[in-house]
Amino acid sequence: MSAASALVLFSGGQDSATCLADALSRFGHVETIGFAYGQRHLVEMQVRLAFLRDLRARFAQLAAGLGQDHVLDLAVLGQVSDTALTRDVAITMTEGGLPSTFVPGRNLIFLNFAAALAYRRGIRHIILGVCETDYSGYPDCRDDTIKAMQIALNLGMERRFVLETPLMWRDKAATWQMAHDLGGEALVTLIRDQTHSCYLGERSLHHAWGYGCGSCPACQLRAEGWRRFACSTI
C-alpha cells in the first residue's frame, strides 16, 4: 500500500472540501469518493463536480496530485433510513436528543466502502471531514467511533489503513481559517460558493457564508463559523 497516496471522502460540503485541499498539500496522489444514498440534498453531488473542476482549473499547483473521482450508489441506505435527510419531513429533535437529520450507520457504511475501494487502489490513508468540536452530535462523527472503525477495518481486511480526521478538534471558524491557510482568499471563496452544506438542498439563496436556507442546523453551524472567522480576520 502506498503511504504517499490518500482517498478523501468528498461529499461536496465545506468540511470535506477543506480536507481535500489539506490532503493535496500533504500527499502526492489523492483520489476522491462520493456517495449517492438518496439524500434529500442531492444537489451536493452536483456541486462536488463543479468544485473538483474549478479546483483543477484555478489551483493547478495544489491540485497537481488530484486523481480519479469515484461515486458509489448506496441508494439502499436511503431506503432503510427514516430521517429528515432521506425523507421530505421537517427537521426536528428526536427523543434521544439527536436531530432527525441523523442517518444511522451512514459514516460507518461510507468507511466500509471507502476502505474496500482503497484496498483495491492500494491506498493506505483514508481521510474524512467529521468533527466532534462543532457539530450536530452525530455519534458516528466522534473520535472514538473513528478509532474503533480503523481497528475493525484493519482487522477485517488485513491492511494497515490510517483513518485521518483533520477537523476532529477544529470548530467551523478554524475550518474556514484552515482553508485560508491552504489557499488564501481564493480557496475560501471557492469553498464558500462551490460547496453545499444545507440539509434542504437550497441553492437559490446566497449569504456571506455561501448558499443555503439559513435555518437548518448545517446552515447555522456554517454561518456562525463564518461570522467568527470573518471577525478574526478584520
Taking residues 43-70, report their average pLDDT. Answer: 96
Torsion of CA 159, 1, 113, 136, to 10 degrees: 90
Q: Which triple of cell numbers denotes residue 74?
A: 448506496
CA 145 to chain centre: 16
Q: HSE, CB side, 13 Å, CA atoms: give it for residue 199.
A: 24
The contacts of residue 221 (CB under 8 Å, 6+ apart) are 134, 135, 136, 172, 197
Taking residues 51-73, report their average pLDDT. Answer: 97
Q: How many angstroms separate the Cα of 169 from the Cα of each of 52, 98, 134?
A: 26, 20, 8
Residue % of the chain over a pLDDT of 90 = 82
Domain definitions of the chain by residue range: 2-233
Average pLDDT value over all residues in the chain:
94
pLDDT by residue (tens digit) across 74-109?
Answer: 999 989 988 888 888 888 878 777 888 889 999 999
- The predicted pLDDT at position 137 comes to 86
The domain made up of 2-233 has a fold known as Rossmann fold (3.40.50)
Taking residues 201-222, report their average pLDDT. Answer: 95
Would the pLDDT of 232 be above 90? no
Between the ranges 72-86, 134-148, 159-173, where is the mean pLDDT highest? 159-173
- The pTM assigned to this predicted structure is 0.94
- The predicted pLDDT at position 101 comes to 87
- The predicted pLDDT at position 95 comes to 75
Q: In what order do the strands lie in the sheet with 123-127?
A: 66-73, 29-36, 2-9, 123-127, 162-164
Would the pLDDT of 11 be above 90? yes
Band of residue 1 on the pLDDT scale cut at 50, 70, 90: low
> Residue 119: is it exposed, middle or buried by C-beta count within 10 angstroms (0-12/13-18/19+)?
middle
Taking residues 60-87, report their average pLDDT. Answer: 93
Taking residues 189-206, report their average pLDDT. Answer: 96
Q: Which triple of cell numbers denotes residue 19?
A: 480536507
> Residue 76: is it exposed, middle or buried by C-beta count within 10 angstroms (0-12/13-18/19+)?
exposed
CA angle 27, 170, 146 (to 5 degrees): 70
Contact criterion met (CB below 8 Å) for 162 and 126: yes
- The predicted pLDDT at position 2 comes to 61
- The predicted pLDDT at position 86 comes to 87
- Taking residue 158's Cβ as centre, other Cβ atoms within 10 Å add up to 8
Band of residue 233 on the pLDDT scale cut at 50, 70, 90: confident
